[in-house]
């Protein structure tokens, strides 16, 4: 085939061959377009790395400057300590300056440490440790503050003191804690508070709150507040205890420390609680009148009327039928009622709401049977109502027939026979005795 014929020298155009492949491989690859996604992402990455690096550099420079400033401050404090004329103060200030200088040097070297891998790991560990410690401290402080959240007891205490001063002692007792009502009976509490109001006068104001304490125990939360209270006659220290019952703070106890000039003697207190000037004067002593009227109703067989006129407390203690039966038994044993012959005790509460009357009554078959009354009234204008009643039967004494017992003796009863007289001893025989006397040799 003649040379120069292009149609037969190599593979046709477009057919792969060694020369064609070599030529294509030698050609440079086309460059990607500048507007593509790959170039955009690379440019953004380079920008972010540039921004991050600039931020780090700026942060490092700021920390270094801060460390240098603190170091300079420490050196200045150290010089100030050296210039001090007081040795103790000067040495302390020098040590403080050295410490500040050390902190400044540490901060100044911190950016250099952060450039190594181990340094970065160390700094991250320190930061995590500081964060954990700070979080733990915050949690502990929060729990302590929440646990020691002491409420303000002043309004509750002031409300209780105002009610006691205006005479609403019954309401204060009813609104008190159930624990207080279990420990303290209502009548003694009313008497003590009336005596207190009579001693210190009316409540004026709470001048100061001295101390407040809240505790949690098996019975729930209890609180105590110490106050300085101004009354009409004196300024006293008052301690009020409260119990959190069903979400409300209720009275658990109260104590008042009286000043020395207000303390009263026992004689003055007895004079204050005396029911009448002369308890035996039935015309002018209303307690004596009430007791005499009850005894005469019982003597007339009207025990049911006495039970109906008594207080609800008395009616709850004993059923009506049992009370009537018991009084009939007493009437049969004692006989008819005559009069009160002596008064052992007649006391009136300070507020005048309750009284006690202890007396000896004369009956047909007993000349001195003890009778004890307790009365109650809401106000001085109301009549006395029976709150409790007790009759003490005398001990029986032997009768003349020797086998029968008597429940008592009336004013004209024959006294019982005494024990028989002992038999007379025979007279000693005359002559010398063969027995030595008991005091022989005592002369």
CA torsion through residues 291, 292, 295, 296, sign: negative
CB atoms within 10 A of CB 363: 25
- Return the ∠ at Cα 413 (arms to 412 and 419), rounded to 5°: 140
CA distances from 395 to 229, 345, 413 (A): 55, 22, 16
Closest CA to 259 of 238, 288, 282: 238
In this predicted structure, what is the pLDDT of residue 192? 83
Distance, first Cα to last Cα, the chain: 193
Check if the beta carbon of residue 177 is closer than 8 Å to that of residue 189. Answer: no
Q: Is 107 left (phi over 0), alpha (psi -120 to 50) or beta?
A: alpha
Q: Tens digit of pLDDT per residue, the chain (443 long)?
A: 444 444 444 444 444 444 444 444 445 555 544 444 545 545 545 555 555 556 556 656 665 666 666 667 667 666 666 665 555 555 666 666 666 666 666 655 666 666 677 766 777 787 888 889 889 888 888 776 665 567 889 999 999 999 998 888 889 999 999 999 999 988 788 878 888 888 888 999 999 999 998 888 888 889 999 999 999 988 999 999 999 998 899 999 999 988 887 777 777 777 777 888 888 888 889 999 999 999 999 999 999 999 999 999 899 988 999 999 999 999 999 999 999 999 998 888 766 778 899 999 999 998 889 999 999 888 888 899 999 999 988 876 655 444 334 433 333 333 444 444 444 444 444 444 443 444 444 43
- The structure's pTM equals 0.45
Give Rg (Cα) of the chain: 53
Q: How many CA atoms lie within 13 A of 112 on its CB side?
A: 7
Residue 196 CB-half CA count within 13 A: 21
CA pseudo-torsion sign 269, 273, 278, 280? negative
Report the number of secondary-structure helices (H) and strands (E) in the chain.
14, 10
Rounded Cα distance between 157 and 210, Å, is 13
C-alpha triplet 32, 35, 37: angle, nearest 5°: 80
pLDDT of the residue at 147: 56
Residue 403: what pLDDT? 39
d(CA 284, CA 302): 25
CB of 258 within 8 A of CB of 186? Answer: no
């Amino acid at each position: 085939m003649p040379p120069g014929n292009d149609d037969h020298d190599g593979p046709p155009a477009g057919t792969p061959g060694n020369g064609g492949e070599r030529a294509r491989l030698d050609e440079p690859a086309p460059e990607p377009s500048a507007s593509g996604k790959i170039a955009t992402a690379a440019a953004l990455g380079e920008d972010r790395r540039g921004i991050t690096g600039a931020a780090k550099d700026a942060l490092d420079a700021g920390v270094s400057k801060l460390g240098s400033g603190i170091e300079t401050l420490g050196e200045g404090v150290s010089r100030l300590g050296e210039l001090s004329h007081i040795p103790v103060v000067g040495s302390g200030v020098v040590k403080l300056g050295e410490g500040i200088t050390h902190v400044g040097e540490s901060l100044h070297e911190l950016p250099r440490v952060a450039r190594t891998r181990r340094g970065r790991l160390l700094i991250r560990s320190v930061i995590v440790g500081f964060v954990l410690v700070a979080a733990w401290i915050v949690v502990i402080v929060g729990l302590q503050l929440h646990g020691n959240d002491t409420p303000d007891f002043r309004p509750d205490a002031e409300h209780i003191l105002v009610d006691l001063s205006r005479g609403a002692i019954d309401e204060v007792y009813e609104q008190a804690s159930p624990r207080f009502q279990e420990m303290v009976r209502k009548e003694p509490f009313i008497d003590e508070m009336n005596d207190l109001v009579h001693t210190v006068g009316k409540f004026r104001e709470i001048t100061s709150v001295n101390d407040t304490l809240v505790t949690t125990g098996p019975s729930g939360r209890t609180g105590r507040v110490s106050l300085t209270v101004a009354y009409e006659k004196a300024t006293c220290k008052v301690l009020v205890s409260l119990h959190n019952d069903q979400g409300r703070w209720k009275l658990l106890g109260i104590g008042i420390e009286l000043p020395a000039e207000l303390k009263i003697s026992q004689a003055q207190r007895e004079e204050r609680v005396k029911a009448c000037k002369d308890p035996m004067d039935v015309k002018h002593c209303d307690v004596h009148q009430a007791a005499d009227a009850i005894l005469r109703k019982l003597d007339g067989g009207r025990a049911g009327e006495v039970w109906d006129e008594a207080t609800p407390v008395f009616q709850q203690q004993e059923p009506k039928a049992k009370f009537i039966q018991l009084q009939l038994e007493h009437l049969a044993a004692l006989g008819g009622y005559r009069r009160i012959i002596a008064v052992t005790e007649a006391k009136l509460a300070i507020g005048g709401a309750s009284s006690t009357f202890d007396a000896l009554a004369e009956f047909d078959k007993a000349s001195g049977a003890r009778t004890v009354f307790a009365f109650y009234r809401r106000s001085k204008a109301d009549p006395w109502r029976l709150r409790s009643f007790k009759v003490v039967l005398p001990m029986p004494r032997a009768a003349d027939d020797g086998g029968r017992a008597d429940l008592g003796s009336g004013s004209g009863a024959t006294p019982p026979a005494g024990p028989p007289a002992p038999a007379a001893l025979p007279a000693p025989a005359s002559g010398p005795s063969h027995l030595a006397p008991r005091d022989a040799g005592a002369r």
